[in-house]
Amino acid sequence: MIRYQDQAIILKSSLQGERDKRLIFLTKTHGKKAAFAKGAVSSKRFGPALDLFAVSQIEWVEKNEGEIQRIESAETHHEFKAIRSDFQKMATASYFLELLLHLFPENEPLPGIYEYLANTLYDVDSRETFEQSLRTTYELKLLFLLGISPEFTACLSCSTQATHLEFLFFKASSGGILCESCTEPATPPIAKSIVMELQEIASSNFKRLRSYTPSQEFSSKVPAFLHQFMDFHVPGYERRKFKSLSFLK
């Protein structure tokens, strides 16, 4: 039996019987974890620390590998009150939790993922509105962190750098951009300015992202391109799985 303690964000909370909860939470240094919290429904000792979206300091015990673990204590650090009180903010935040539930495996720490989710939730919580183009920006950032993002730096076929090309095309099934010489019939064009904006998102830190406003051209084109790409290339991504999307404008 090993005892752990880490800062975590609650991704999913469900009832287990009448008194207990089953939690899935993303930790800062130990990856995604699943654990039971005995008596969490009626006990006051956890308070709001195990509620959805909560940022909490959690102590848990791990027994044998492969077994669901047990939460010993939890203390709330932040609750994201604006998300909890606004339906659209809640739906947007829920979508990002769902992404990590579906795309990110348990027990595999990956640098940057916890910081990604924390900054995403802070941004959703603090902005007056969170448009689809901003949601797309954070989807892209997650794909970059997971190493499964579209190729926007060079032509997939001839490897010519995008900065040296005048006309670019995006082929979702192939996973990125093609130049004019390598493109195929009916492949939709993508403006070079959008490609440069995508490269900027990939290299931006979270402080920059939280002050970022996508261009109108990005907003009108990239969401559709990205979701076509995700349908082809992102394991575990099927839009019908994501309940929160049905509530987003």
Q: What is the pLDDT of residues 93-151, one digit of tens each?
A: 999 999 999 888 888 888 899 999 999 999 999 998 888 888 999 999 999 998 899 99
Q: What is the pLDDT of residues 157-198, one digit of tens each?
A: 999 999 999 999 999 999 999 999 999 999 999 999 999 999
Residue ranges and CATH numbers for the domains of the chain are 1-79 (2.40.50.140), 82-249 (1.20.1440.120)
Instruction: Write down the pLDDT at residue 52.
Output: 94
Tokens 């039996």 found at:
1
Cβ within 8 Å of residue 43, ≥6 positions away: none
Instruction: Write down the pLDDT at residue 105.
Output: 81
Could you tell me if 68 and 34 are in contact, meaning their C-beta atoms sit under 8 angstroms apart? yes
Q: What is the pLDDT of residues 33-77, one digit of tens each?
A: 999 998 888 777 788 899 999 999 999 998 876 566 899 999 999
Cα–Cα dist 8/106, whole Å: 13
Does the predicted model carry a pTM greater than 0.75?
Answer: yes
Instruction: Write down the pLDDT at residue 66.
Output: 56
| Exposure on the CB side of residue 24, measured as CA atoms within 13 A | 13
Nearest to 93 by CA among 60, 56, 58, 55: 55
Radius of gyration of the chain measured on its C-alpha atoms: 20
Nearest to 175 by CA among 149, 153, 154, 145: 149
Residue 54 three-state SS = coil
